[in-house]
Amino acid sequence: METWLLALAYGIHLVATVVSLGALLSAFDLTRILFLPQQPVPSWIRRYRAFLRLTWMAVALLWATGMFQMTKHPLYQGTLNFSTPWAKGLLFKHILVLAWIVGLAYLQWVRLPAWERWALRLQAGQPAPEGDQEALRRSLIRSLRWQQVLVLAVLVVTAWLRAQR
């Protein structure tokens, strides 16, 4: 019975990885059209909310399935046991995942509200402060690039860990 559970966990983990990367790349593509004058502001805010919902769901699935996989790995020797290179690599991976989660929280609870305030000012016909639009665009691009770097680093560390036997 344990084999089919592990296979299911691997499958869900793989799908969640694809979903999180897809959402991240879609959000990055959205950035290219984000601040065009003809782009309706509420539509891109809805798209970013959808991106964040998908990403949080993928993070939850990755965490749950990853913890199950970790406990079944032959090199796993228990919680807080960092005596092997594999365990140290796993700790590093968890630190990267934590940084990814902090970055997502920053996007959702700091950056997105700032973009919404900016959008509400535009919808109300109030002029945005000079340079505000470009600063928001740059902050969005910077936030998404950091997310990409963290996700790719997690994938690289995961590949290294999988190669350990």
Give the tens place of pLDDT for each residue, 62-109.
Answer: 888 888 777 777 777 777 777 788 788 888 988 999 998 998 898 888
Residue 141 pLDDT > 60:
yes
> pTM above 0.85?
no
> CA torsion sign, 49 to 23 to 58 to 102?
negative
Q: Given the structure tokens 């399935």, which residue do they identify?
A: 65
Q: 48: Cβ–Cβ under 8 A, 6 or more apart, which residues?
A: 27, 30, 112, 115
Terminal C-alpha separation, the chain: 23
**Nearest-10 crossing angle of helices 112-123, 41-72:** 170
**pLDDT tens profile 106-123:** 888 888 888 778 777 777
| Half-sphere exposure in the Cβ direction for 84 (13 Å, CA) | 12
Is the CB of residue 77 less than 8 Å from the CB of residue 39?
A: no
Give the count of domains, the chain: 1
Q: Where are the beta strands (DSSP E) in 18-141?
A: none
CA separation for the pair 156, 160 (Å, rounded): 6
Gyration radius of the chain over CA positions: 19
Segments forming the whole domain that contains residue 76: 2-163
